């Protein structure tokens, strides 16, 4: 099995020129632990909507690659979002769902993927043109690179261990992140 932090580390250098949106909680803290950049936005509170925000940005900025780091619990709250992603199918959006089969950030309650629900299958049935499920670091790195080059909306479901950082509070405040990110988007 793969750790999400190792997966993030492996692809981190490829995020330099991309626009990155993450869900709140563990993945946001892990990405910040590797190194925050002004082109990264950590969507607090609005659980499930990182892919919807990524969709809006991808449509508004078709010449920039957008990467969304989502979670299984989060996307399970916004399954209809897959149908909207598929309807507009931006070619510049790579949607990564880190599937640890749990709501790790609020204590680890198991989600529906722990009882067999297949998020890549749901995405494909909604009409997402490229979907992949990966279970190890090599597979993730390869598929992420391929998705960044594909020029086609891709959802990658990365099965990861249900482990995260010891704390989720970072020293970057939501408003600071919001203004910095907005400014970066205007300038790039």
Ligand X SMILES: Cc1ncc(C[n+]2csc(CCOP(=O)(O)OP(=O)(O)O)c2C)c(N)n1
> Where do contacts with ligand X occur on this chain (CB under 6 A)?
23-27, 45, 47, 71-74, 100, 102-106
Give 54 or 73: the residue with its C-beta nearer to ligand X: 73
* Closest approach of ligand X to the CB of residue 74, in Å: 3
CB of 38 to ligand X, least distance (A): 23
Nearer to ligand X, 29 or 92 (CB): 29
- CB 72 within 8 Å of CB 50: no
Smaller CB distance to ligand X: residue 99 or 143? 99
- Tell me whether residue 42 or residue 92 sits nearer to ligand X (CB atom): 42
Could you tell me the smallest distance in angstroms from the CB atom of residue 134 to ligand X? 17
* Minimum distance from residue 99 beta carbon to ligand X (Å): 8
Three-state secondary structure of 147-175: HHHHCCCEEEEEEECCCCCCCCCCCCCHH
For residue 16, the minimal CB distance to ligand X (Å) is 24
Residues 6+ apart with CB under 8 A from 174: 42, 44
Nearer to ligand X among residue 88 and residue 109 (C-beta): 109
Q: What is the DSSP string of 84-119?
A: HHHHH--TTEEEEEEE-SEEGGGT-EE-GGGGT--H
For 106, the token pair is 């609020």
d(CA 186, CA 147): 25
What residues does 69 pair with on adjacent strands? 22, 96
Residues present in the chain in total = 188
């Amino acid at each position: 099995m793969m750790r999400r932090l190792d997966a993030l580390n492996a692809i981190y250098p490829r995020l330099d020129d991309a626009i990155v949106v993450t869900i709140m909680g563990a993945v946001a803290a892990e990405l910040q632990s590797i190194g925050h950049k002004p082109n990264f936005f950590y969507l607090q509170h609005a659980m499930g909507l990182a892919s919807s925000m990524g969709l809006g940005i991808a449509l508004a900025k078709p010449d920039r690659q957008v990467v969304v780091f989502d979670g299984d619990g989060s996307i399970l709250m916004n399954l209809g979002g897959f149908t909207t992603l598929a309807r507009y199918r931006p070619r510049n959006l790579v949607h990564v769902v880190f599937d640890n089969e749990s709501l790790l950030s609020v204590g680890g309650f198991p989600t529906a993927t722990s009882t067999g629900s297949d998020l890549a299958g749901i995405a494909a049935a909604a009409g997402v043109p490229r979907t992949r499920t990966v279970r190890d670091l090599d597979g993730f790195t390869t598929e992420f690179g391929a998705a960044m080059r594909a020029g086609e909306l891709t959802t990658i479901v990365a099965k990861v261990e249900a482990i995260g950082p010891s704390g989720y509070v970072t020293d970057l405040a939501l408003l600071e992140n919001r203004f910095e990110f907005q400014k970066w988007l205007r300038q790039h």
